[in-house]
A and B are shown apart, each in its own frame.
Chain A
Amino acid sequence: MNQFVSEFWSLYIGVISVVSIVACAVFLKMQSVRKPVEPDTTGHIWDENLQEYNNPMPRWWAWMFYLTVFFSIGYLVLYPGLGNFAGTLGWTQVGQLEEENKAANAQFGPIYDKYAAQDVPAVAKIPEALAIGQKLFLNHCAQCHASDAGGSRGFPNLSDKDWLWGGTAEAIKTSIAEGRRGVMPPFGTVLGESAAKDVAHYVLSLSGTASDSIRTARGKEKFGEVCAACHGADGKGNQQLGAPNLTDKVWLRGSGEAAIVEQIAKGSNSQMPAHKDILTPAKIHLLTAYVYSLSAPPK
């Protein structure tokens, strides 16, 4: 709660607030008791002949000023404001947020809970559930995976049948709840420029893309030594490690020789954040069903 560097500032603000309030009240009292003026006009004259009449304000006007003074005292007693004093109500912004979240969960929770009991493939066939799932997706996922779930460079496409970590309901749910961390180590120094190119050509050949046959042959050897540990001897990847399948035409970090060489040389480090602290289990369940439905459309 204490955001001040030293106690001094807390005291400083407290003293200024209290003194100001007291001064306001004293000033009001001084001003409203008696004021020596010329009768009828204030004595001011502008533009040769414009005079201001002295019309006393109604007394209730003064009471309104006093009311603001009492209000500010009450406010500073109940709510935080006087330096570090937290107020007798114990109100905080975080507390209010938590309360509102609690109320919202209580209100909307049943809508999500309705689907929590059914398994993911079943929920993925209910249009109403998918509509809610889509809204959740647009709020929490679309920033990286795009609003059509098609992904972008570095962020996997969730609408195709190619999965880094597995496309089963359980795997998708784990990805959302626990997050994922995919590491491709850099091999630039290990392989050297030419060998990296060779490997890239071999990788291209896996998906049937035109490549240099000599480099492909040399690359195949290196691939077995360096890459097969994660991507598999056949290059089909390993969903335990999140190692992508290299034999399809899905390129997470750009297609073509140059992009692949760069990926081999520099590696990459990607992270899917965990959402279990952000979303309730019921929401994650719905979200899983939505993502699941994208690659397994209901028949």
Chain B
Amino acid sequence: MAQPSLAENNNALRSVTPLRTAPQDAGKRGESGKGEVVETQLYAADKKVYPRAVSGWFAAWRWGLVWATQLIFYGGAWLTWNDRQAILFDIVNRKFYIFGLVFWPQDIIYLSVLLIVAALSLFLFTAVAGRLWCGYACPQTVYTEIFLWFERVIEGDRNRRIQLDRAAWSARKLGLKAAKHGVWIAIALWTGFTFVGYVTPIRELWAEVLSFSTGPWETFWILFYGFATYGNAGWMREQVCIYMCPYARFQSAMFDKDTLIITYDRERGEPRGARTTSGERAGLGDCVNCGICVQVCPTGIDIRAGLQYQCIGCAACVDGCNQVMDRVGYPRGLIRYSTQNALERKFTPAQTLAHAFRPRVLVYAGLVWAVIIAAVIGLYMRVPLKVDVIRDRAAIAREVEGGDVENVYQLQVINASERRRMFDIEAMGLPSIHVDGETHVEVQGTGSRLVPLRVRVHVQPGAVARGTHRIEFLVHAHDDPGVFVREASIFIVR
């Protein structure tokens, strides 16, 4: 059997983080188990995880974040602002409303800034305290938590659920399962409906839902997101984290030995074992081998085997173990947030904290704040007007009566504010340059207009050379001198 040698390996190579411990039933998987090559399945039927309910400090934090994120998600779509939906991503008209701000596709830079901030924050939080996102705020965790709560209310806690699943089908089992899936599907559909409500006005959508008249795409996406919620939070659960989520796989690149992770204090706990009825220690460590930490784990691992890629950092085992420690009268923290360095070098909490302020953390924090501040300044200075100058290619340079040269342009004037505005257009950059024709354009709120413009230059001999000249268009709002845009273009004389 190769298993013992592997365990030795683990001890000998402590710097190598085991990806997964050898399963207890490894020997049974093969048919012989006598040292020769064993045949196994490439694919295995997955074992269902029945997480046991847990309460405590970290579970309370997770529930706090469940409430916070879901209030924002389910509630946000119903807020109104200036007689319109406060948060609406109007993809058809390519306008994105977030309270007082209206974003156009040209504002994609703010989306990239948001993504950069999200990525850098992820780096920062991961470097400091591991998979905080996974354990507390990721929708996969949050919805699983909600679905598990209903499952627990309807079917009971871990042991009741295991029994129920093992039991033969009966009217009671059918009733419980139907009730559970009914509730799940209801939540899932409401989630899908809310999701679509951010893309198409939710009040109109609700009226359509009530009269069964949603459009084909609305229906499809409500059902699609509903199905995804039901499938991921009800059925897939930890498998999403283990087999599908890329973040789970690259997090190890962001860990170091000073990163806070969920750890089992091997030195304090081992050798583990059940206490005798008289409560004697009999040379055993603090771990009473009750298995609570395994039972509460949403990914079904044993944290006592060390850091594993399946661990989503939810700290359920910390809460579970602390309760047991309280009961048996040992100090809390056999399983706790700690760092590899703190465990190996026996840091005091103050030392562990000091190591949190290491260069990479400071660099990440500095970058996050720099990008956030730049984005806020950018948003504050943003001018609600955009102009694109499109030079006409059909008429390169036109001679007009009186020896003028005329170039033709189209100005796309985009009024990004929400009120109707008058704009003045000027051309500048060459002597005698002027716009021939209408220079005032009215553009409705969050509207755009394509304005064809003739620009003329008096060409006195020697005054303007043949060839291309840089010119500029100045477009400014009639009612607000602060709202203006300069756009460069070229003027051709031939």
Interface residues of A (CB under 8 A from B): 31-41, 49-62, 134-135, 138, 142-148, 150-153, 155, 249, 254-255
Chain B min CB distance to A144 (Å): 6
Docked complex Cα distance between A58 and B238 (Å): 12
Which B residues from 10 to 31 make CB contacts under 8 A with A?
13, 16, 18-20, 22, 26-27, 29-30
Q: Are A39 and B1 in contact (CB under 8 A)?
A: yes
Q: Write out the residue numbers on chain B whose beta carbons fall within 8 Å of the beta carbon of A60.
A: 46, 239
A255 closest partner in B (C-beta):
B399
Q: Are A146 and B42 in contact (CB under 8 A)?
A: no
**Given contacts A35-B39, A39-B30, A40-B6, are A58 and B394 in contact (CB under 8 A)?**
no
B155 in the interface (beta carbon within 8 A) = no
**Given contacts A49-B16, A61-B243, A147-B410, are A40 and B22 in contact (CB under 8 A)?**
yes
Chain A min CB distance to B31 (Å): 10
Most buried by A among B26, B40, B45, B437: B40
Interface hit among B138-146, B187-195, B373-381, B450-458: B450-458
Q: Are B398 and A150 in contact (CB under 8 A)?
A: yes
Docked complex Cα distance between A210 and B157 (Å): 104
Docked complex Cα distance between A151 and B408 (Å): 10
**Given contacts A39-B3, A41-B6, A152-B398, are A147 and B39 in contact (CB under 8 A)?**
no
Q: Are A38 and B43 in contact (CB under 8 A)?
A: no
Chain A min CB distance to B427 (Å): 14
Q: Are A59 and B2 in contact (CB under 8 A)?
A: no
Q: Are A57 and B408 in contact (CB under 8 A)?
A: no
Q: Write out the residue numbers on chain B whose beta carbons fall within 8 Å of the beta carbon of A148.
A: 392, 408, 437, 452-454
Q: Write out the residue numbers on chain B whose beta carbons fall within 8 Å of the beta carbon of A62.
A: 42-43
Q: Are B454 and A57 in contact (CB under 8 A)?
A: no
Q: Write out the residue numbers on chain A whose beta carbons fall within 8 Å of the beta carbon of B41.
A: 32-35, 56
Q: Are A32 and B452 in contact (CB under 8 A)?
A: no
B167 in the interface (beta carbon within 8 A) = no
Q: Write out the residue numbers on chain A whose beta carbons fall within 8 Å of the beta carbon of B408.
A: 146-148, 150
Chain A min CB distance to B306 (Å): 13
Which B residues from 391 to 416 make CB contacts under 8 A with A?
392, 394-396, 398-399, 401, 406, 408-410
Q: Are A155 and B22 in contact (CB under 8 A)?
A: no
Q: Are B2 and A38 in contact (CB under 8 A)?
A: yes
Docked complex Cα distance between A51 and B408 (Å): 69
Q: Write out the residue numbers on chain A whose beta carbons fall within 8 Å of the beta carbon of B406.
A: 150
B38 in the interface (beta carbon within 8 A) = yes
B468 in the interface (beta carbon within 8 A) = no
Q: Write out the residue numbers on chain A whose beta carbons fall within 8 Å of the beta carbon of B394.
A: 142-147, 152, 155
Chain B min CB distance to A272 (Å): 14
Docked complex Cα distance between A298 and B379 (Å): 43
Q: Write out the residue numbers on chain B whose beta carbons fall within 8 Å of the beta carbon of A61.
A: 43, 243
**Given contacts A40-B6, A146-B408, A148-B453, are A57 and B392 in contact (CB under 8 A)?**
no
A30 closest partner in B (C-beta):
B42
Q: Are B37 and A38 in contact (CB under 8 A)?
A: yes
**Given contacts A35-B39, A39-B26, A50-B16, are A150 and B44 in contact (CB under 8 A)?**
no
Which residue from B3, B38, B452 sits with its C-beta under 8 Å from A37? B38
- In order of increasing CB-CB distance, the 10 nearest A-B pairs are A152-B395, A56-B44, A147-B452, A58-B46, A146-B395, A148-B452, A62-B43, A59-B43, A146-B394, A146-B408
Q: Are B20 and A55 in contact (CB under 8 A)?
A: yes
Chain A min CB distance to B79 (Å): 32
Q: Write out the residue numbers on chain A whose beta carbons fall within 8 Å of the beta carbon of B452.
A: 134, 138, 142, 146-148
Interface residues of B (CB under 8 A from A): 1-3, 6, 9, 13, 16, 18-20, 22, 26-27, 29-30, 37-46, 239, 243, 392, 394-396, 398-399, 401, 406, 408-410, 437, 450, 452-454
Docked complex Cα distance between A24 and B16 (Å): 37
Chain A min CB distance to B469 (Å): 19
Docked complex Cα distance between A117 and B50 (Å): 72
Q: Write out the residue numbers on chain A whose beta carbons fall within 8 Å of the beta carbon of B42.
A: 31-32, 34-35, 56-57, 62
Q: Write out the residue numbers on chain A whose beta carbons fall within 8 Å of the beta carbon of B2.
A: 38-41
Q: Write out the residue numbers on chain A whose beta carbons fall within 8 Å of the beta carbon of B3.
A: 39-40
B16 closest partner in A (C-beta):
A49
Q: Write out the residue numbers on chain A whose beta carbons fall within 8 Å of the beta carbon of B18.
A: 53
Q: Enumerate 6 A-B pairs (CB-CB under 8 Å) in ascending A order.
A: A32-B41, A49-B16, A55-B19, A59-B43, A144-B394, A254-B399
Q: Are A38 and B398 in contact (CB under 8 A)?
A: no
Q: Are B40 and A51 in contact (CB under 8 A)?
A: no
Q: Write out the residue numbers on chain A whose beta carbons fall within 8 Å of the beta carbon of B30.
A: 39
Q: Write out the residue numbers on chain A whose beta carbons fall within 8 Å of the beta carbon of B38.
A: 36-39
Further pairs besides A33-B41, A147-B392: 17, Cβ < 8 Å: A31-B42, A32-B42, A35-B39, A35-B40, A39-B26, A39-B29, A40-B26, A58-B43, A58-B46, A61-B43, A147-B409, A148-B437, A148-B454, A150-B406, A152-B394, A152-B396, A255-B399
Chain A min CB distance to B310 (Å): 10
Q: Are B39 and A57 in contact (CB under 8 A)?
A: no
A48 closest partner in B (C-beta):
B13
Docked complex Cα distance between A254 and B394 (Å): 15
Q: Write out the residue numbers on chain A whose beta carbons fall within 8 Å of the beta carbon of B454.
A: 148, 150
A138 closest partner in B (C-beta):
B450
Docked complex Cα distance between A60 and B30 (Å): 21
Docked complex Cα distance between A59 and B19 (Å): 20
**Given contacts A41-B2, A148-B454, are A32 and B43 in contact (CB under 8 A)?**
yes
Q: Write out the residue numbers on chain A whose beta carbons fall within 8 Å of the beta carbon of B43.
A: 32, 56-59, 61-62
Q: Are A54 and B40 in contact (CB under 8 A)?
A: yes
Docked complex Cα distance between A151 and B44 (Å): 73
Q: Are A150 and B395 in contact (CB under 8 A)?
A: yes
Q: Write out the residue numbers on chain A whose beta carbons fall within 8 Å of the beta carbon of B1.
A: 39
Chain A min CB distance to B436 (Å): 9
Q: Write out the residue numbers on chain B whose beta carbons fall within 8 Å of the beta carbon of A153.
A: 398
Which residue from B22, B37, B409 sits with its C-beta under 8 Å from A36? B37
Docked complex Cα distance between A51 and B18 (Å): 9
B13 closest partner in A (C-beta):
A49
